[in-house]
Amino acid sequence: MNFGTNQHIHFIGIGGIGMSALARYFHRRGHRVTGYDRSPSALTLALEKEGMLIHYTDKPGLLSPDTALVVYTPAVPPDLGELRKARETGIRVMKRSEVLGGISETYRCLSVAGSHGKTSTSAMLAHLLRQEGWPILAFLGGISLNYRSNLIDDPDAKVMVAEADEYDRSFLHLSPDLVIITAIDSDHLDIYGTHASLLDAFSTFAGKLSKGEILLIKEGLQNSLRLPAQARVYTYGWEQNAGFRPVNVQNTGNGHAFDLETPDTIINGLHLSVPGLVQVENAVAATAAALLTGLDADACRRGLQSFLGVSRRLEKRFEHAGMIYYDDYAHHPEELKACIRSLQMLHPGRKITGIFQPHLYTRTRDLAEGFAESLAALDEIILLEIYPAREAPIAGINAAFLLEKISSDAKSVCDKEALFNLLDKRQPEILVTLGAGDIDQLADPIVHYLSNRYK
């Protein structure tokens, strides 16, 4: 797909993690990039420093006659003035997923899909390749701590690593040459309606592979999908019959050491420098894909050991005298369960306090029982009010609704403004913030608060 040269491209919702990566991609190619978002964030401020013009009030009049393309995210209300103006005046308008799909047509596209695990897995895969000198293009759903960006954009790249988002069936626009599927848990039921419909979309995505191309899928999931007969199918996971699986796993304190069984051999002495058994699972997927793409065992060893992780994926933000604070993006019951289990393994016997911001009214309603079960594993849970994102409120669905379902005596709902007073009273041993809304904006203030408290 041809996007021209030296064009004016406007992004509506530019502060989103996927939108900002696309904005960076076009900006680096000499396009004049502008954008709108409803509020400033660390991402939008970074884009401004890179030279992009961003505003935070809906201003249709700012769309100039020379605007060649308007890119928008489905999270934007359809009646937003700038989006209406673009359509009414005949400016070319495309969804983020359509633009990413157009870009993928010109690369060997390695796509990572799944209801969770895709950001860490795609960041690991991108790092494994780039660490060995492969020029790559990578669109990541988080900020890589190795590259301090959600975009890796090397000159002369022939390979593209793309996080394949199932929301709004976005991933169906991609042209994949290799597909990883990490998980297919019930989510986005506002889009799909049923889990069966979600599975059907993943089957359709895998079916985009051509003859001889690779599907790498978590063991067990292959039984729920229509597998593409033309593709080479491999499985990975902890199960005995998985094609790629970790063995001899050891906790090293700040990560894990393990060996990797492959369909042909055993690769010994892999060291992953980020904590959590879920990250070992992601590393198995990324390493398997790298091996199938052409890397050798030594290259994978080097890449895993030097991988620093992804921002907000069990990211340690503060530590002093045994008190540790982590920040994590978990916003689905299975993600919460994995994060909490990892913290319990890292800090056995320690009291873990979680601050969770539910994301979306529909997700909170549809998955309430799962949320309640996962959050009950914390020693104490503090709920913030639901982050609505693109949604209008649903009567009766709020933080109090979820709190009532959690079987714990140490639970409360708290306003952001009262959070630090509550932390003063609780004095947590291990603290973790959890969620995909704007809870990330609390991380720096919490670090500042803890730094003053423990100085």
Domain ranges of the chain: 8-95, 107-306, 315-453
| Cα pseudo-dihedral 370, 375, 376, 382, rounded to 10 | -140
Name residue 360's beta-bridge partners. none
Q: Structurally, what CATH architecture does the domain formed by 8-95 represent?
A: 3-Layer(aba) Sandwich (3.40)
- Give the closest residue to 438 by CA, choosing from 385, 383, 387, 402: 387
8-95 with 315-453: one CATH topology? no
Q: What pTM was computed for the model?
A: 0.92
Residue 396: how many other CB atoms lie within 10 Å = 9
Residues 6+ apart with CB under 8 A from 75: 13, 16, 389, 390
pLDDT score, position 75:
83
pLDDT score, position 390:
78
Q: Are 247 and 259 in contact (CB under 8 A)?
A: yes
297: phi > 0 → left, psi -120 to 50 → alpha, else beta; which? alpha
Q: Are 302 and 132 in contact (CB under 8 A)?
A: yes
pLDDT score, position 13:
96
pLDDT score, position 99:
98
Helices of type H across 28-117: 42-49, 81-88, 96-104
- Output the CA angle 8-14-16, nearest 5 degrees: 150
* Under-70 pLDDT residues of the chain: none
pLDDT score, position 184:
95
- Three-class DSSP category at 119: helix
pLDDT score, position 274:
93
- Give the closest residue to 145 by CA, choosing from 6, 278, 314: 314
| Alpha carbon distance 149, 271 (integer Å) | 24
pLDDT tens by residue, 63-84: 988 899 999 998 888 899 999 9
Superfamily of domain 107-306: Mur-like, catalytic domain (3.40.1190.10)
CATH dotted code for 315-453: 3.90.190.20
